[in-house]
Amino acid sequence: MNPWNYPVKFHTYAEYEDEFREAMVEAGIPVDKGVDETAEEGEKE
C-alpha cells in the first residue's frame, strides 16, 4: 500500500464558491453568483 496515494477529498469550484461566497464578496473577489441570487434560490427550494 502506498501511503502517498490516499483518496483526495475535493469539491468543484461551484461548491467552493457556495461555501465561501460571503467572504469572497467581502474581500472583493469576483463570484459567478451574487449573494442575493443564492438567497433567492434557497427560498425557491
Alpha-carbon torsion (12, 18, 24, 30), positive or negative: positive
C-alpha cell read off for 38: 443564492
Chain segment 1-45, per-residue pLDDT in tens = 778 888 888 889 899 999 999 999 999 999 988 777 665 666 555
- Domain residue ranges in the chain: 13-44
Q: How far apart are CA 20 and CA 35, in angstroms?
A: 11
Give the pLDDT confidence score for residue 36 in this predicted structure.
72
Give the pLDDT confidence score for residue 40 in this predicted structure.
60
C-alpha cell read off for 35: 449573494
pTM here?
0.55
